[in-house]
Structure 1
Amino acid sequence: MNEPLRPLHRVLMVSDFFYPNFGGVENHIFYLAQCLMQRGHKVVVATHAYGRRSGVRYMTNGLKVYYIPWLPFYLQTSFPTLFGTFPIFRTIMLRERITIVHGHQAFSTLCHEAIMHARTMGYKTVFTDHSLCGFADVGSIHMNKVLQYTLADVQQAICVSHTSKENTHLRSTLPPEKIFVIPNAVDTAMFQPDPSKRIKDKVVIVIISRLVYRKGADLLVEVIPEVCRLFPQVHFIIGGDGPKRVRLEEMREKYHLQDRVEMLGAVAHSDVRKCLVRGHIFLNSSLTEAFCIAIVEAACCGLLTVSTKVGGVPEVLPPEYIVLAEPIPSRMVVAVAQAIELLPNVDPFAMHNQMRTLYSWPDVAERTETVYTHAMNTENEDLLQRLERYYACGPWAGKLFCLVVIMDYIFWHFLQWWQPAAEMDVAPDFQPQEESGTVRAVNRS
């Protein structure tokens, strides 16, 4: 019996965070795009320029990336312009014949602007939230209001954990039935165990993280000396860089731990496995996490994990592969002691095989495809219906949101007159030839 035809989508993924920058969001977009392309969909990525990397580039399997000549403003996010990016996003959507726009990460300015312009033009949109955010500080209040504005007009949203879904619902007031939970994944072929690389007669604890407050670097300053005092056989490997690195180096000198705490500095993603396979235990001290892809990578390499019990972390690994503790130094030390006792019962290869079945990018792509289909099946709306939702966002914010949307709508009609869509060239689609690895143009209707 023939399999029913699946609808094929033409997806524009937008985020400030993409290669050559490295991180969880960057990896997520790249691997998701590759798997969607393998399933027959057209995927294009739009991000801001990174140094001299500007214009159109092609990546693995012909993945087309638009590096928009917009320089990063703060922490790799571009300067907000509201309407400044509309002409170039409109050009990309029309030239690539996009059918759905998928924005990633609440902290991405380009993501918010692309979703707004796409909805003005009548495209269906999906948003993926990769992080948790608070409710009390000034930055969180501002961010949550921006998120409420953006999600007021998306068809579907995706979160990487159930904790993240609850957080996004509370921050944006988006109905829970519009939010899907699709976890991250890892390329398990890149993270294979290799017990032969471990130091004999020692217990090696690996830490690979940005050394910042949110990742719990201050916790490590107190946990590491106490663990070293209680367990003479323990050796630490710390990979990562950040403003808190100075505190860790001061701690190492203060307690004379230079021979037991190895500081690697920044570690390229391609070298992460080389660090992980040297260890027995992976230590995650984050104060907030929506998912934490690092502990999945560590488990794929056969490391037992010790982690703070925060955010979506308890959902990620089976209980036999992780020891959880409150983000308190004394509790973390106890958790490390428990992990050391459990080490003889850990089979690295059995752990890797289980991670391979739990987290795979083809599965993530298939579930994301379902979200796209749900989004495409939603009813089309006119401007007044959209304004009703924006107006409900608050007595003052609602009126401001409506004004921005109306101005965006007027600007769109100006662009339609200034550069009619019928006069715009359509970009050819490219697919790599498997035999030669070259790229050829093909027609896609």
Structure 2
Amino acid sequence: MDRQKHRILMVSDFFFPNFGGVESHIYYLSQCLLKLGHKVVVMTHAYGNRSGVRYVTNGLKVYHVPWRPFLMQNTLPTLFLTFPVVRTIIIRERISVVHGHQAFSTLCHEALMHARTMGYKVVFTDHSLYGFADAGSIHMNKVLQFTLADIDQAICVSLFMVPNAVDTAMFTPSPESLSCDEIVIVVISKLVYRKGADLLVEVIPEVCRLFPKVRFIIGGDGPKRVLLEEMREKFSLQDRVEMLGAVPHAQVRSVLISGHIFLNSSLTEAFCIAILEAASCGLLTVSTRVGVVPEVLPDDMIVLAEPAPEDMVRAVKKAIDMLPGINPQVMHLQMKKLYSWGDVAKRTEIVYDGAVRSLTTNLLDRLPQYLTCGVWAGKLFCPVILINYLLWCLLRILTAC
């Protein structure tokens, strides 16, 4: 039986040329869905001079709407101002499913709200986990509750739902053996609190003190970069800690294959696609035991630690002892069998089928779902949806005139 073909709009503030796991996920998933015969369009904000419509590999159409990021590549919340643009793209591209990515994306939440108001099927993929340790996470969980109250399907990138994957053809080990004169530990991450940048500030000096042959390469940028630079100056580690800044995705492999160990210090993590790329390049991984990270790689490819400096240092020591038994080529072949974007696309295709088959709800059916979001939040969410519905009616009248 022929598969149902979908017309999908991927929406997120995070897409190329920005670097990150969400960006890679959207790109590779879109490419595989195109190969399966579906139509895929991406909507994101403007990046530098990238504004308007652009085409990337295999004709993937990308709308860079003229919104500028104001914080960590995230656009300023507008609630209703994005509605005319979202509506135009959905109608022009004859979209059947709107797929939003990442809870931190303002554009994602607003597009899903507008799509539901217009009666379209929506799917949301959550790429991160948030606790309740700070005000930002508490508010983000409430926003996430608002979005999840009225969607057709949800995906989390864990092994029990639809996992991330890695392009093993792009991330291959170096054909030459690395020098044993020094051990290079690679870190490629956004330098923010959630990714454990503060933890690195304590771990790196101790590792350098215990292991004179260890050198660090750090790729990435963010508000915590200054702390790492101050640490390097304080402990006089300029010759042992190399700061690369932001690394374009096309250059990630060249950075990875220059190292022996990949270090991930995330405090929260839904999956961590970076460790897949590192393992595919033949690097032994040291990572914090958070989220579903313990389930991502086999035990002989990863050393886990609690997100505490002393335990991270212990894990690095264990990884150094394991290095003589690591064969990068064998590790790459194993990753090739474990993870495939084609498999991820087929699983996501099933989710779209379920979304399209789900019952269509009207405004009166949707409002009670928002009321369950909290005593005060529910009463606040309902007027937002009502105003959004009235705006949709106004747009239909204006375009009909």
Which of 49, 53, 63 pairs up with 1:66?
63
| 1:283 counterpart SS class | strand
| 2:186 counterpart SS class | strand
Deviation of residue 197 (structure 1)?
Answer: 5.6
Deviation of residue 244 (structure 1)?
Answer: 3.2
| 1:189 counterpart SS class | coil
Deviation of residue 210 (structure 1)?
Answer: 2.4
- AA at the equivalent of 2:111: A
Distance in 1 of aligned mates of 2:131 and 2:69: 24
**Could you report, residue by residue, the CA deviation over 1:168-216 in whole angstroms, capped at 9, with x for unpaired residues?**
xxxxxxxxxxxx7211111111110115262232222212222333222
**Pair member with larger Rg:** 1
- AA at the equivalent of 1:152: A
Distance in 1 of aligned mates of 2:227 and 2:149: 42
Q: Is the 8 A contact 1:276 1:298 kept in 2?
A: yes
| 2:169 counterpart SS class | helix
Distance in 2 of aligned mates of 1:246 and 1:114: 35
Distance in 2 of aligned mates of 1:356 and 1:253: 41
Compare 260-269 and 110-119 and name the one that shifted more: 260-269
Alignment of 1:275-424 (within 5 A): 275-420=255-400
- AA at the equivalent of 1:221: V
Q: TM-score, normalised by structure 2?
A: 0.95
Task: Give the count of matched residue pairs.
Answer: 401
- AA at the equivalent of 2:323: L
Distance in 1 of aligned mates of 2:304 and 2:284: 11
CA 197–402 in structure 1, closer or farther in 2 if over 3 Å, else same: same
Q: TM-score, normalised by structure 1?
A: 0.86
Distance in 1 of aligned mates of 2:375 and 2:191: 41
Distance in 2 of aligned mates of 1:205 and 1:156: 39
Deviation of residue 393 (structure 1)?
Answer: 1.9
Residue 14 in 1 paired to residue 3 in 2?
no
Which of 152, 155, 170 pairs up with 1:155?
152
Deviation of residue 232 (structure 1)?
Answer: 2.6
- AA at the equivalent of 2:337: T
Deviation of residue 399 (structure 1)?
Answer: 2.2
Distance in 1 of aligned mates of 2:132 and 2:208: 37
| 1:46 counterpart SS class | strand
**Could you report, residue by residue, the CA deviation over 1:259-317 in whole angstroms, capped at 9, with x for unpaired residues?**
33333333222111111112111111122211111111110010111111122211211
Report the equivalent of 1:263: 243
Q: Is the 8 A contact 2:19 2:247 kept in 1?
A: no
**Could you report, residue by residue, the CA deviation over 1:106-145 in whole angstroms, capped at 9, with x for unpaired residues?**
1111111111111111111000011111224222222222
Deviation of residue 225 (structure 1)?
Answer: 2.6
| 1:119 counterpart SS class | helix
Q: Is the 8 A contact 1:199 1:278 kept in 2?
A: no
Distance in 1 of aligned mates of 2:67 and 2:198: 35
Residue 241 in 1 paired to residue 221 in 2?
yes
Distance in 2 of aligned mates of 1:383 and 1:227: 58
Which of 104, 111, 116 pairs up with 1:114?
111
| 1:27 counterpart SS class | helix
Report the equivalent of 1:137: 134
Consecutive unaligned residues in structure 1, runs of 5 or more? 163-179, 424-445
CA 243–112 in structure 1, closer or farther in 2 if over 3 Å, else same: closer
Q: Is the 8 A contact 1:55 1:69 kept in 2?
A: yes
Query: How many percent identity over aligned positions?
Result: 70
| 1:373 counterpart SS class | helix
Deviation of residue 366 (structure 1)?
Answer: 0.5
Superposition CA RMSD, Å: 1.8
Distance in 1 of aligned mates of 2:225 and 2:83: 40
**Could you report, residue by residue, the CA deviation over 1:49-70 in whole angstroms, capped at 9, with x for unpaired residues?**
2222211111111111111112
| 2:242 counterpart SS class | strand
Q: Is the 8 A contact 2:8 2:99 kept in 1?
A: yes
**Could you report, residue by residue, the CA deviation over 1:196-241 in whole angstroms, capped at 9, with x for unpaired residues?**
2622322222122223332222322332232223223222222223
Runs of 4+ in 1 over 6 A off after TM superposition: none
Alignment of 1:132-281 (within 5 A): 132-161=129-158, 181-194=161-174, 196=176, 198-281=178-261
Compare 43-52 and 367-376 and name the one that shifted more: 43-52
| 1:419 counterpart SS class | helix
